[in-house]
């Protein structure tokens, strides 16, 4: 009974959410199948990011699915109680919280819907095998020995939780919104630089967005879209500038300097020099003796960061041999020079009655600049999966092989049949034993990017019935050939000399002439679920010619059976006859040789030690064989 219990209690793991809300969950039937099961499945998370998920599961009181009933040879299965005894293997930082504190669900009393909340913040990347431990109490109704209570059924369910590394990025000199730097398809981001030099010093910004766009604004206008798969490096170079006094030019010095040593501009002009007290700079050792057009060049004195003004002093030097006569140097004027904020090369003027002129101020870039790079990663999605199928229909008990081609690496496969998530199918191949609309979702385990199959999805059909013979019998009196037996739900295609006879699909075929007749028997609507007859040759009215040593009229009874059954067949030639039995994968599981048979063989076979399954029985001799199928349950 493991199969149906696990299909009900397959708990899923976690998915990323904006914030973690732990300890509580509310069950919901949304997405639950009427036959029971989980209403969600595992997803990919990220280290250091809080996330939570609520997974509901539905446990119906009664189940009547033939696929489940065949496991117990019963008419009905009642689920009385489910108790989750533990969950192991969760990543550090994640815990499981059930809506029942004791994790016990009394299904027989109507407690058929539950939920679990996986919640927390994972601390380490990796692939984690998660195990859910389950104790189930069931009652099998109508078994061959009555109603059976097998007692507590201990089960385990295993799933995989994938936690990706933290790729959110850490940048110090600018912000980006939304604060996400990785996506499967595209990202549209806005940017804003966060660093600036102290007032009044200028700052420059050099943006390179990695997609051919640039900007020099602190907050570039608009947004920038990245939609080409690959790494797009968004870089910002932030540069601080320091103001520098470059040159001082004095138009004229009309007054304020005359003394006994300096009389007039035409006679004895002043000896001009300047001082910049804040910078500890003066040119007294290199005076200029003139009254106008005085240029003091290549001063190149840096103004301290954050300074928006400094004083300029203009002096007349009276030093030299006449210093004791002329006295101290004459201060012609003091001028406060104000720096215009965030302006690169600028000219600051000064003037009063004693002197006028200007100061040229330029800027020098501080070294080093601040450089930050954000790697915007457009990961791209895996290629859309292409599904290849060995057939589109099959017999009950057989399977249809479905495969993704080419197979992917480093991915998680999610297979769905109709609305049911197939928890136990985890690779690129699935053997379908039931009808359904098949689709596949593939998730890259490195990036977390997923892609679904394109619609329409692939439909497979598995017959609920199974042809078990295709023996042809000729009735000379009625001039007919008939199939013995033709089970309900089966139809036939008739062939005459290798050509399909149109319009004939029943058990009986009227003779259309001398020749070779064959029939293919298949479940109605399932042409791959078929048996082909041995050829039957009709050479004249009432005359049948069969291939020498032909084996025919093969019957097995009872069918279905418990592994003990009898085999009957006609053998038209003396010699050894082999009885061979194969499983659904074609592997021989039983062989017996019956010596020197001629006429009818009758043998009893016991394969009750083998698994309950569908088997193919073949009776053959050196040149002929007959085949049928049996169900052991």
pLDDT at 281: 93
pLDDT digits (tens, 9 = 90+) for 301-328: 999 888 899 999 999 888 765 656 777 7
**Average pLDDT for residues 512-521, to the nearest whole number?**
86
For residue 493, pLDDT over 80 is answered with yes
3-state secondary structure of 561: strand
With respect to residue 316, please indicate whether it lies within any of the assigned structural domains.
Answer: no
With respect to residue 172, please indicate whether it lies within any of the assigned structural domains.
Answer: no
pLDDT at 125: 67
pLDDT at 126: 64
pLDDT digits (tens, 9 = 90+) for 347-377: 999 999 889 999 999 999 987 788 889 999 9
For residue 265, pLDDT over 70 is answered with yes
Token pair for residue 52?
């939570």
CA-based nearest residue to 26, from 77, 89, 98, 81: 98
Number of H helices and E strands in the chain, helices first, is 3, 51
Indicate the residue among 520, 546, 572 that finishes a domain: 546
Question: How, if at all, do strands 153-164 and 44-46 pair?
Answer: parallel
158 in the same domain as 9: yes
Indicate the residue among 406, 436, 455 that finishes a domain: 455
Identify which has the larger pLDDT, 469 or 538: 538
For residue 190, pLDDT over 90 is answered with yes
408 in the same domain as 432: yes
How far is 43 from 29, CA to CA, in rounded Å? 20
With respect to residue 373, please indicate whether it lies within any of the assigned structural domains.
Answer: no
How far is 608 from 1, CA to CA, in rounded Å? 19
142 in the same domain as 48: yes
For residue 157, pLDDT over 80 is answered with no
- The proportion of the chain whose per-residue pLDDT surpasses 90, expressed as a percent, equals 23
With respect to residue 198, please indicate whether it lies within any of the assigned structural domains.
Answer: no
For residue 445, pLDDT over 70 is answered with yes
**Average pLDDT for residues 463-479, to the nearest whole number?**
74
With respect to residue 141, please indicate whether it lies within any of the assigned structural domains.
Answer: yes
List the single range of 190-194, 258-262, 393-397, 607-611 with lowest mean pLDDT: 258-262
DSSP 184: S
Identify which has the larger pLDDT, 421 or 531: 421
511 in the same domain as 422: no
User: Any alpha helices (H) in 405-551, and if so which ranges?
Assistant: none
- The proportion of the chain whose per-residue pLDDT surpasses 70, expressed as a percent, equals 85
pLDDT at 71: 65
For residue 155, pLDDT over 60 is answered with yes
pLDDT digits (tens, 9 = 90+) for 113-145: 888 888 888 887 666 777 888 888 888 888 877
Mean pLDDT score of the chain: 82
The Cα diameter of the chain in Å comes to 162
For residue 492, pLDDT over 50 is answered with yes
Length of the chain: 633
Beta partners for residue 442, in sequence order: 413, 451
For the chain, what is the domain count? 4
518 in the same domain as 589: no
pLDDT band at 523 (very low <50, low <70, confident <90, very high): confident
pLDDT digits (tens, 9 = 90+) for 199-245: 899 999 999 998 889 999 999 998 999 999 999 999 999 998 999 99
For residue 496, pLDDT over 70 is answered with yes
435 in the same domain as 406: yes
**Average pLDDT for residues 388-406, to the nearest whole number?**
82
pLDDT at 6: 40
CA-based nearest residue to 303, from 345, 245, 348, 359: 245
pLDDT band at 12 (very low <50, low <70, confident <90, very high): very low
pLDDT at 44: 57
For residue 266, pLDDT over 80 is answered with no
Which range, 47-61, 368-382, 384-398, has the best average confidence (pLDDT)? 368-382
With respect to residue 15, please indicate whether it lies within any of the assigned structural domains.
Answer: yes
Domain of 447, in residue numbers: 387-455
512 in the same domain as 415: no
Indicate the residue among 409, 424, 455 that finishes a domain: 455
**Average pLDDT for residues 282-292, to the nearest whole number?**
90
609 in the same domain as 476: no
**Average pLDDT for residues 72-81, to the nearest whole number?**
82
Identify which has the larger pLDDT, 602 or 267: 602
pLDDT at 9: 41
How far is 285 from 619, CA to CA, in rounded Å? 125
How far is 65 from 37, CA to CA, in rounded Å? 13
For residue 283, pLDDT over 80 is answered with yes
pLDDT at 469: 67
536 in the same domain as 580: no
pLDDT at 16: 31
pLDDT band at 158 (very low <50, low <70, confident <90, very high): low
70 in the same domain as 45: yes
pLDDT at 66: 61
Would you say 108 and 80 are in contact if contact means Cβ atoms under 8 Å apart?
A: yes
How far is 622 from 501, CA to CA, in rounded Å? 31
54 in the same domain as 89: yes
């Amino acid at each position: 009974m493991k199969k149906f219990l696990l299909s009900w209690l397959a708990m899923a793991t976690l998915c990323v959410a904006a914030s973690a809300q732990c300890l509580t969950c509310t069950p919901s039937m949304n997405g639950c199948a009427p036959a029971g099961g989980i209403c969600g499945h595992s997803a990919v998370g990220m280290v250091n990011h809080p996330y939570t998920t609520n997974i509901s599961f539905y446990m119906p009181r009664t189940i009547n699915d033939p696929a489940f009933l065949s496991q117990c040879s019963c008419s009905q299965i009642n689920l009385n109680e489910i108790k989750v005894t533990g969950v192991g293997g969760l990543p550090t930082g994640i815990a499981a919280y059930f809506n029942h504190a004791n994790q016990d669900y009394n299904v027989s009393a109507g407690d058929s819907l539950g939920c679990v909340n996986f919640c927390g913040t994972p601390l380490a990347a990796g692939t984690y095998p998660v195990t859910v431990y389950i104790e189930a109490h069931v009652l099998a109704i109508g078994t061959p020995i009555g109603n059976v209570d097998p007692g507590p059924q201990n089960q385990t369910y295993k799933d995989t939780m994938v936690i990706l590394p933290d790729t959110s990025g850490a940048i110090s000199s600018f912000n980006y919104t939304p604060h996400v730097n990785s996506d499967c398809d595209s990202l549209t981001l806005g940017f804003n630089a966060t660093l600036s030099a102290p007032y009044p010093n200028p700052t420059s910004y050099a943006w390179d967005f990695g997609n051919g766009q640039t900007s020099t604004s602190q907050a570039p206008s608009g947004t920038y879209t990245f939609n080409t798969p690959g790494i797009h490096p968004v870089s910002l170079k932030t540069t601080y500038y320091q103001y520098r006094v470059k040159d001082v030019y004095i138009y004229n010095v009309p007054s304020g300097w005359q003394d006994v040593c300096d009389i007039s501009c035409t006679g004895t002009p002043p000896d001009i020099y300047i001082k910049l007290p804040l910078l500890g700079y003066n040119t007294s050792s290199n005076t200029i003796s003139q009254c106008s057009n005085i240029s003091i060049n290549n001063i190149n004195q840096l103004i301290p960061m954050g300074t928006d003004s400094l004083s300029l002093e203009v002096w007349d030097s009276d030093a030299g041999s006449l210093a004791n006569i002329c006295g101290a140097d004459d201060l012609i004027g003091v001028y406060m020079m104000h720096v215009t904020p965030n302006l690169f090369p600028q000219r600051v003027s000064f003037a009063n009655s004693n002197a006028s002129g200007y100061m040229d101020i330029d800027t020098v870039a501080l070294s080093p600049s601040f450089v930050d790079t954000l790697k915007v990663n457009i990961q791209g999605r895996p290629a859309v999966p292409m599904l290849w199928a060995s057939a589109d229909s099959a017999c009950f008990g057989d399977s249809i092989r479905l495969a993704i081609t080419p197979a992917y690496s480093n991915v998680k496969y999610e297979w769905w049949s109709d609305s049911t998530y197939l928890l136990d199918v985890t690779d690129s191949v699935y053997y379908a034993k039931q009808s359904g609309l098949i689709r596949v979702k593939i998730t890259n385990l490195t990036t977390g990017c997923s892609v679904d199959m394109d619609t329409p999805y692939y439909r497979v059909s598995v017959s609920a019935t199974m042809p078990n013979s295709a023996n042809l019998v000729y009735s000379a009196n009625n001039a007919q050939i008939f199939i013995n037996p033709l089970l309900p739900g089966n139809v036939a295609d008739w062939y005459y000399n290798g050509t399909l006879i149109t319009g004939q699909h029943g058990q009986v075929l009227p003779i259309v002439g001398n020749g070779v007749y064959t029939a293919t028997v298949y479940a109605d609507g399932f042409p791959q679920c078929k048996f082909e007859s041995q050829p039957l040759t009709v050479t004249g009215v009432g005359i049948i010619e069969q291939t020498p040593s032909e084996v025919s009229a093969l019957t097995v009874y009872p069918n279905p059976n418990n592994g003990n059954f009898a085999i009957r067949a006609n053998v038209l030639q003396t010699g050894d006859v082999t009885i061979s039995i194969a499983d659904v994968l074609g592997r021989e599981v039983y062989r017996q040789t019956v010596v020197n048979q001629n006429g009818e063989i009758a043998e009893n076979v016991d394969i009750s030690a083998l698994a309950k399954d569908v088997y193919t029985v073949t009776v053959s001799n050196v040149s002929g064989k007959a085949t049928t199928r049996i169900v052991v349950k």
